[in-house]
Chains A and B, each alone.
Chain A
Amino acid sequence: MNFDSLLWVLLLGSLLGLELIGKVPPTLHTPLMSGANAISGITMLAALTAIIKAEPNSPLLIIGSISLGFALFNVVGGFFVTDRMLAMFSRKPIKKNK
């Protein structure tokens, strides 16, 4: 992959991000932040690549594995916690008098 095409990817990705989040109701700011935070754990792909490309018995395996653990903590925890928040917004039937 050429460096200049990667730069294009960076530029277009940034522009896309600016557009996507243009209008958000304040209600969703915390869940959105939490969800975006989970997505930032995509750095797990870099950790995976490092582990796969590491020489046998290289300390890189351990570093990569720890990095992967941190990233997945972020990703899995982030998505679950976002879901917990959003689950509360789902319209429940209003409880009538007992």
Chain B
Amino acid sequence: MNLPDIIKFVIDLLAVLLLALGIKGLSKVRSAREANILAAFAMLLSVIGLLFYYLRTEGIRTQSWAWIIVGTLVGSLFGTLLAKKVPMTSMPETVALFNGFGGMSSLLVAMGAFIYPFNEGVKAGSLESFINDVSISISIFVGAITFSGSIVAMAKLQGWLSTPGWTQLKARHFVNIVFGITSLIAFIYLISGNNGSPLWLLVLASTLLGIGVTLPIGGADMPVVISLLNSYSGIAAAAAGFVVKSQLLIVAGAMVGAAGLILTQVMCKGMNRSLISVLFGGSLSAQTTSSSGSGEYTNITSCSVEECALTLEAANRVIVVPGYGLAVAQAQHTLREVTKKLEQNGIEVVYAIHPVAGRMPGHMNVLLAEADVPYEQLKEMDVVNPEFPATDVVLVLGANDVVNPQAKNDKSSPLYGMPVLDVQEARTVFVIKRGMSAGYSGIKNDLFDLPNTSMVFGDAKKVLSELIGELKDLGVGDK
């Protein structure tokens, strides 16, 4: 080893260490922000290490510099713009888009490496050349699925794409199997030393496979899919690492791949869904609306915003259960105004955060933090559940399945076993909801039938701003 090798080695080791510390730090609230910066620094370091190494060994041509600068500027500029502009409620689709572009990057670089081989001294037919071809093919396959799947996921979350009925047909499995087999055939052709057309076949078939698998999945399951695709993009990066023989790239890709899998698992658990049923079960709501005929409500009490305000005024302790509907209505700031008024009146307000509340696990915390809700008031399910019996009023805002007592009481329910918030233990429960439609599980919510539950119908944001008016009339928070 000569000097540039040693320096590159040390820098790479340091970068891996910092990346690992970064991921670890991201899993703790106190250190998360610093950890993110640390990881970003590690990435910068890895680039500096690479550039330094080539400068001191083979040299970097002016032409290469030009293309490096162009790519860097354009990518960073658009990335920064999007990151600064996008509203917090659109986080899931933003992550999906970023992820898709990461997949696209691996796909492109692998295609480039195949068409214009740049690894010198690789003899055709040697083991090295075989490994090179396998890595390139994996990178293309996974990269293309990541890209097309992420873009479909983003489009569905944005509401640009719906879930058409024909995607729920059983025939979709057959179509996807055809795409899969076609990819496999192209893959085998590629690694047995063929040039040209199998490459495009592989790109096409794996892109279609990504679309075909993602399109039938319902919007509520999308976060799980994005997390899984995030894991794939790590795998694609690791495969690209084999192409350019970079240990750093392999380690980082593998870490992200493994971490994404764990996160996917955690999300599935919170939603009481298995990964298999998310991926192959189709849209849950499309299936169950037809089969759950027992979804008749018998004892619905609906009430006005005014009644709701009166009860709130008399309360000592209020727990807010925010859900998907709140995120969609972007009502977090309005909610904060309501709770501010209550707090000014000496009422204790706590937010109960179900692990999968919002549009993605942890998304609700981000939204409420954006609306200036003090972090201390956000309580996780296990902490807050014993507190419901001592609570006067629970406000359920656009949450449904996560407050369904069926999950605890009814063994025949598909929800049975899912961890839920025990809101029915509180004295009074107000459910603010647009209509009687079911949650994404498509299952009747027994909570709505309970005598201590009242429904306030309307869009979360509209109801909350009316609530502010009513509270004002009652003189709450006007000290």
Contact = CB atoms under 8 A, between A and B. Distances in A.
Given A74-B98, A88-B369, A90-B33, A21 B263 contact: yes
Interface stretch (B192-200, B298-306, B374-382): B374-382
Contact of B58 (A52, A73, A83): A52
Given A28-B32, A67-B112, A73-B75, A45 B23 contact: no
A13 B33 contact: no
A40 B79 contact: no
B190 to A, nearest CB: 17
B267 interface: yes
A40 B238 CA distance: 9
Interface of B: 19-20, 22-24, 26-29, 32-33, 35-37, 39-40, 43, 46-47, 50-51, 54, 58, 60-61, 63-64, 67-68, 70-72, 74-76, 78-80, 82-84, 86, 88, 91-92, 94-95, 98-99, 101-102, 104-106, 108-109, 111-113, 115-116, 118-119, 127-128, 131, 226-227, 230, 233-234, 236-238, 240-263, 266-267, 270, 344, 353, 355-356, 360-363, 365-366, 369-370, 372, 374-375, 378, 380, 479
A39 to B, nearest CB: 5
A74 B99 contact: yes
Given A13-B250, A29-B361, A36 B234 contact: yes
A35 B23 contact: yes
A54 B246 contact: no
A84 B356 CA distance: 21
Contact of A10 (B24, B238, B360, B363): B238
A10 B237 CA distance: 11
Interface of A: 1, 3, 6, 9-18, 20-92, 94-95, 97
A28 B39 CA distance: 16
A86 B421 CA distance: 26
Contacts of A23: 27
B230 A33 contact: yes
